[in-house]
């Protein structure tokens, strides 16, 4: 039975998509740790240590997508997937598309601010 084009206003991904983002968050978390260790072993200059911001940001974004059940790329693209992987549907309501884009921007700002804290602290280690 095909599900109607209705979804919770704050959720645009279902179980399989959430699992995919959780794996990405774990992977980028491990990458953050390995990057930090490598930068310390190489005794990288302080300003170069800011490179750790990228994997930390990816970790935070992945975590947010997992916990909020909201994919940023889907939100910007005006689609959602609450079913099987690859079963993407368009958001037909223009107001919902606007809300989704607004949520994407808010999430990115939050993620940048959160990732900046450990990144800046790492520079001073």
Asked whether residue 7 is assigned to any structural domain, the reply reads no
Quote the radius of gyration of the chain (alpha carbons, Å). Answer: 17
Rounded Cα distance, 46 and 107, in Å: 28
Is 79 inside any structural domain?
Answer: yes
Domain assignment present for residue 69? The answer is yes
pTM here is 0.87
Backbone angles phi, psi at 80, to 5 degrees: -150, 160
Residue 45 lies in a domain: yes
Give the separation between CA 25 and CA 97, rounded to whole angstroms.
Answer: 25
Q: How many domains does the chain have?
A: 1
6 belongs to a structural domain: no
Phi-psi region of 81 (alpha: psi -120 to 50; beta: other; left: phi over 0): beta
User: Is 33 contained in some domain?
Assistant: yes
Is residue 63 included in any domain, yes or no? yes
Residues 6+ apart with CB under 8 A from 19: none
What is residue 72's three-state secondary structure? Answer: helix
The percentage of the chain sitting over the pLDDT mark of 70, rounded to a whole number, equals 93
Could you report the per-residue pLDDT of 55-75, keeping only the tens digit for each? 999 999 999 999 999 999 999
Give per-residue pLDDT as tens, 74-116: 999 999 999 898 889 999 999 999 999 999 999 999 999 999 9
- Domain, as residue range, for 29: 15-123
Answer whether residue 4 is part of any domain. Answer: no
């Amino acid at each position: 039975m095909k599900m109607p084009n209705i979804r919770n206003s704050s959720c645009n991904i279902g179980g399989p998509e959430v699992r995919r983002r959780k794996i990405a968050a774990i992977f980028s978390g491990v990458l953050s740790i390995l990057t930090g260790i490598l930068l310390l072993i190489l005794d990288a200059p302080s300003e170069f240590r800011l490179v750790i911001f990228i994997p930390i940001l990816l970790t935070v974004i992945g975590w947010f997508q997992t916990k909020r059940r909201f994919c940023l790329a889907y939100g910007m693209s005006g689609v959602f997937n609450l079913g099987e992987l690859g079963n993407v549907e368009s958001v037909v309501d223009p107001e919902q598309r606007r809300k989704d884009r607004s949520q994407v921007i808010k999430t990115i700002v939050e993620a940048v601010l959160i990732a900046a804290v450990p990144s800046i602290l790492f520079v001073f280690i």
